[in-house]
Amino acid sequence: MLTGRSADQSQCSGRTTRKIRAGMKGQTMKAAVYDRYGPPDVVYVDDVEIPVPEDEQILIRVHATTVNSADWRARSLELPPGFGPIGRLVFGVFKPRHRILGTEISGVVESVGNTVSKFKPGDRVFADCGTGFGGHAEYRVIDENGPLAKIPENVSFEEAAALCFGGTVALDFLQLHGKIQPGDRVLINGASGTTGTALVQLAKHFGGHVTGVCSSSNIELVKSIGADEVIDYTVDDFTMNGRVYDIIVDTAGTAPWSRSKNSLAETGRLLIVLGSFSDILLSRFRSQRDGKKVIDAVAGSSPERCQVLADLAEARKFTPVIDRTYSLDEIVEAHSYVDSGRKKGSVVIKIVPD
């Protein structure tokens, strides 16, 4: 039991928190929402209630967020072959389970719950909302111990908002699943997207010799972020050049085991970020006979992962590539551009203008 001054402080803090909650209840914010699956124009901006933080949560005033492939798939239900039923279970069987999309955010802590000790109002933070979505809005609540971290001083809100989606996948697949070592020959298939540009930078940071595969229009971009070599897939097929790699990462779904197996070294690892359900199941079975590994996984986010990304961003070892920036009112145009398949790196939504 708390006594004396501590008890007074606790009671005061509790009353303050309740006042904040009571004062915010019923207040509204702008958010991009959707009520049915379909093309970009099913998304629209509406007034929704501002979420109120519980004791262990923080309320973030969102400055920037992104529209990425997770938002596209959740909105359209266009999924790799075989994943349709699973997608319905994850996103909602008959209608969207979460009205507000957006998997990653950056912003400023607006208020904190009664028991929060790691963050305070005014802190610049970024967070991974994951499959809970909710980032395409002016405010978002996050658990204090959830996947978030403070933004380094030399990193902008736009850059911070784009750290998690590609960065978490790159860290997990290269370190945890690929067991990357200095000197490994690493090929990134689909090197110009959000995940691909993160993989190129982090594979290089971990000491790999990096080959990127992309279209001719993205060759200079992929070179500029650290790739040692770049293959234009419209001209050359990397599976036919006779070279072998210790790690092949397929982010585009166009380099399954059947195509990549002869391009893997004897102990090579094929890391499948995107692939069909049948390809993943069959490739696991077939690869066991050759001593090579086929690995697919879902990247996991955590406070520790976010802090690693913050440290890498501060050291400029990982700088998210930002293709275009839109306002929240331009959310349909942002989705349309992502749907086009032409984006390089990330598409950022600025909620709070400069």
Contacts by 39-46, CB closer than 8 A, 24 or more apart: 39/76, 39/339, 40/75, 40/332, 40/333, 40/335, 40/336, 40/339, 41/332, 42/75, 43/75, 43/101, 43/331, 43/332, 43/335, 44/331, 44/332, 45/328, 45/329, 45/331
pLDDT at residue 9 in the model: 40
Note the pTM of the prediction, 2 decimals: 0.89
Left (φ > 0), alpha (ψ -120 to 50) or beta: where does 133 sit? Answer: left
pLDDT at 247 > cutoff 50: yes
Domain range annotation of the chain: 4-163+320-350, 165-296
Fold of 165-296: Rossmann fold (3.40.50)
pLDDT score, position 11: 44
CATH number of 4-163+320-350: 3.90.180.10
Sequence-ordered list of residues with C-beta below 8 angstroms from that of 99, at least 6 positions apart, any chain: 31, 33, 34, 35, 48
Q: Which residue has the higher pLDDT, 2 or 293?
A: 293
Give residue-wise pLDDT tens across range 59-77: 999 999 999 999 999 999 8
pLDDT recorded at residue 79: 73
Of 67-81, 232-246, 266-280, the least confident? 266-280
Distance in angstroms (rounded) separating the CA atoms of residues 249 and 176: 13
* Fold match flag (4-163+320-350 vs 165-296): no
Query: With 70 as the cut, is the pLDDT of residue 83 above it?
Result: no
